[in-house]
Amino acid sequence: MTKLKYFFIALVLAVSAFTHLYRIDKTFVFHNDEGRDALVAYRIIDTGKPVILGPETSVGNMYLGPFYYYLMVPPLILSKLDPVGPAIMVAFFGILTTLGLIYLGHKWGSTWGGIVSGLFYALSPVMLHYSRSSWNPNVIPFFATLLLLNSQRKSKWEPFWFGILTGIMFQLHYVALILPGLLFLSAVWGHFKSKQLKQIPRYILAALIGFLLASSPFWLFEARHNFVDTRAFGTYLAEKSVGRDTNYPNYLSRLGKNAETVISGIIASKSVSGYNLNRTWLIVAGAILFIYSLFNFKKQGYLLIGSLLIVSLLKESVYVHYLAFLFPIVSLIIGFATTKGKWLSIFTIIFLATLVKPTYAALVYNLHDIASIQTVRAKNVADYIVQQAGGRPYNVVNTQGSYTTTISYYLAISSHPPSNDLQTLVYDICENGPCPQDDESTVLLFLTGPAHPAIADYLGHPQINQFNGPRTMVKNEWVTYDIYVATIELKP
């Protein structure tokens, strides 16, 4: 490579480092799911024992494997339990993804295409949105890029590492398995075309060993619990793919909607920018890129179109983060379309030019203008409760409809965490207004808390389905932002 190419590679990596890390401590997301994940990771640190159950999925009453929780532990330790640590880890994975895309472009015959791909990934508002906070789907683009890099290797270890990476993707989001599935079919077809039929069973065996090794904690949990998640997954697939459900559009309608999600939600970042882009122009431009990639960038086109065909089998709404495994593929298609072929390059540059204004506006807003209150709010409430307790043992609950795992996390790591045994002092956390007087009499007082089996010991109250004990609400104070805390004294 020339010195000019090295210069632009360094420049793109510098841009990526800036966009991924600038003000991340002020802007990273720390909502209920992130608070739960931080609490589970802290439980691993606190007890020294790994968990074998991962995050709960948003559908199907299923859980993922625990790989992401393991991944969170080192940065959480390095950041001294500050939840920004795992967010910074995700950002570094985003920077490494940028580097991986540049390298892939170089290996696939266009260093300039790789440089543009990396730059697109580093500046895309939607890809940055999912690269600056700690959440299990947010590291999928990095491992998807590793899968693409591994597919280029001519090594006897390639199928084993394919299995390892598939086992990791399996624990991050079930929909992400579409990518390794398509790569597996491509590898098997390659052996078939080259008449290396004896290699196919060996490839499958090596991949299976790698997959089972990487996902072994999940299968250990399954073996102990009668394969509850496996059965739920099978039921989910039956209901959401081959089953009849008149509540959802037909297959072609879902395919069109999902293709539009890729075009407007991923390429144009409309899902996070909120900018009113011309829908017809986006669809036409995206369709041209899709069709051209299928016939000219065959591997990327195969992976993109194949993914859309498969994900559209699901009879449910497909959100952008479901398709995070497509981020590197879309970036590569944009990179190659910008640098290969005169007319395609001109068209792609014009298309990207129409995205400059909304992209710039979204970047300025998301990187510079906003300031997250989530960690400040949670820490303020935790500090208030610890100070008010004054050394007395206490329980903490939340009124129905309030979500407080972020506060539970800060209480758990505080100098005076709540007790799981029944105490006479109870703090009731309420969002969006004072705590209701009904909390003085409800039998569901202790039927609250983070819903994950691994953090049952960090609820901060006993697990009582019905509590009829007399109590008095002696204080009901505003603490910070939209949070009120009521002090409840239980009567002996």
* pLDDT tens by residue, 178-233: 999 999 999 988 888 877 888 899 999 999 999 999 999 999 999 998 998 888 88
Q: Of the candidates 369, 393, 425, which is a domain's last residue? A: 369
**Cα gap 66→140, rounded to integer Å:** 14
- Bridge partners, residue 397, by sequence: 428
Residue where a domain stops, chosen among 339, 369, 399:
369
Same domain, 409 and 437: yes
What's the rounded Cα separation, in Å, for the pair 422 and 462?
Answer: 6
Residues 86 and 196 in one domain: yes
67-118 pLDDT per residue, tens: 999 999 999 999 999 999 999 999 999 999 999 999 999 988 889 999 999 9
CB 90 within 8 A of CB 29: no
CA distance 260 to 266: 9
- Regarding whether 195 and 331 lie in a shared domain, the answer is yes
Residue pair 402/430 in contact (Cβ under 8 Å)? The answer is yes
- Cβ-contact 486, 430 below 8 angstroms: yes
Q: 347 and 387 share a domain?
A: no
Pair (130, 29) in one structural domain: yes
Give residue 422's domain range: 374-490
- The residue assigned the tokens 């940065």 is 75
Number of domains observed in the structure of the chain: 2
Q: Domain check: are 248 and 358 in the same one?
A: yes
How many other C-beta atoms lie within 10 A of the C-beta of residue 341?
14
Same domain for 448 and 303:
no
Which residue bears the tokens 């011309």?
278
How close are the terminal C-alpha atoms of the chain, in Å? 78
Residues 279 and 192 grouped into a single domain:
yes
Residue 277 CB-density burial (10 A; 0-12 exposed, 13-18 middle, 19+ buried): middle
Task: Render pLDDT for 107-140 as a digit per residue (tens, 0 to 9).
Answer: 888 899 999 999 999 999 999 999 999 999 999 9
Q: For 310-321, what is the mean pLDDT?
A: 90
Q: SS3 of 276, please?
A: coil
What is the spatial distance between Cα 293 and Cα 305, in angstroms, rounded to a whole number? 9
> Would you state the structure tokens that stand for residue 333, as one six-digit string?
């298609």
Classify residue 223 as exposed, middle or buried by CB count within 10 Å of its CB (0-12, 13-18, 19+): exposed
Exposed / middle / buried, residue 290 (Cβ in 10 Å: 0-12, 13-18, 19+):
middle
| Number of CB atoms found within 10 A of residue 19's CB | 24
Judge if 345 and 380 occupy the same domain.
Answer: no
**Of the candidates 341, 369, 397, which is a domain's last residue?**
369
Tell me, yes or no, whether 11 and 76 share the same domain. Answer: yes
Q: Are 362 and 382 found together in one domain?
A: no
Put simply, whether the predicted model's pTM sits higher than 0.85 gets the answer: yes
Round the CA-based radius of gyration of the chain to a whole number and report it.
25
Task: State whether 348 and 455 are in the same domain.
Answer: no
254-295 pLDDT, tens per residue? 999 999 999 989 999 887 876 777 888 888 888 888 888 777
Residue whose C-alpha is closest to residue 320's, from 251, 256, 267: 267
